[in-house]
Structure 1
Amino acid sequence: MENKTLDHTLQGAPLWLTNFVLVYQKLSKENLQLLATIYHENVTFIDPLHTVEGFDDLYQYFENLYQNLSACDFVIEEVIWQDSQASLFWTMTYQHPKLNKGKMVTVVGTSHIKGEGDKVIYHRDFLDLGAMLYEQLPILGKLTKWIKTKAAN
């Protein structure tokens, strides 16, 4: 792990959490098989787009997500954990040829995860879907940004 602060935060953390952080910070479409080392076969995964039950469906979901990405990088900046639960605060940077004119997109989010044994059995992501997806589309992006501006004023 590169983040010295994160190393200190994970000192004494359970194996499922340490492994999760290590894998996510190096995850790519070339090494999706690493997901099997961190997720329980009965995992529940929830994000703003889908709810997925079971490892096989989760793996398929990740395969589909990563399929068209040119790049995807997670930096986990902070971890708060107690017993079998943790909250992770992260920044995802990704590149998709059809979004944001093919330029990099940065999204900040959090995850609530729960461990069972040495793997994660529950994973829920919280993020701004507008910033991740809608704002990156030509017409919908302008509309989404306009709505956010109007709502803030």
Structure 2
Amino acid sequence: MDVHSVAAFYQRLDKTTLGELSQIYHPNIEFQDAAHRMVGLESLQHYFQELYQNVNQCRFQIGDVFSHPEGGMITWEMELSHPKLKRGKLVTVAGVSHLKFADGKVIYHRDYFDLGEMVYEHIPVLGHLIRTIKQKLGQS
């Protein structure tokens, strides 16, 4: 297993490929993103099952892949459609995954992305407030 294999897996990840998570991830995987932290393959499998059960669509477009012997990083854009976000319309979020390997599988996976860009900016009143703050800070 290497970073390029993980990137290829994420490009085809959907409800039908969730059974392959055990081929990618170590039993003691530590997974973290902007909203969750979990340890163990069973917790990760449950997380992905819940995620894909509740979304209309979740697709990853892989950008750059950086590799070194113990791990690497992947840049990506996630296209997400969830019935409770932006009335089910597609939301695109850019992110980076930091990976570490042990025993030929991913033992550490941390995703870095803007949770506001993914969720908060698409909640009617809160979204307007966050966009206004970003404009005042010169971020958008």
TM range, smaller chain: over 0.9
- What SS does structure 2 have at the residue aligned with 1:74? strand
TM-score (norm 1): 0.85
The aligned counterpart of 1:98 is 84
In the alignment, the residues of structure 1 paired with residue 102 and residue 3 of structure 2 have an alpha-carbon distance, to the nearest angstrom, of 10
The aligned counterpart of 1:5 is none
Structure 2: gaps of 5 or more residues: none
Structure 1 residue identity aligned to 2:55: L
Does residue 81 (structure 1) correspond to residue 67 (structure 2)? The answer is: yes
In the alignment, the residues of structure 1 paired with residue 5 and residue 68 of structure 2 have an alpha-carbon distance, to the nearest angstrom, of 16
In the alignment, the residues of structure 1 paired with residue 94 and residue 56 of structure 2 have an alpha-carbon distance, to the nearest angstrom, of 19
Structure 1: gaps of 5 or more residues: 1-14
- What SS does structure 2 have at the residue aligned with 1:66? helix
Structure 2 residue identity aligned to 1:112: H
| 1:8-31 CA-partner distances (Å, limit 9, x unpaired) | xxxxxxx33233122111001232
**Is contact 1:16-1:117 (8 Å) kept?**
no
The aligned counterpart of 1:26 is 12
Identity of aligned residues (%): 43
**Is contact 1:96-1:102 (8 Å) kept?**
yes
TM-score (norm 2): 0.93
Match of 1:135 among 106, 116, 121: 121
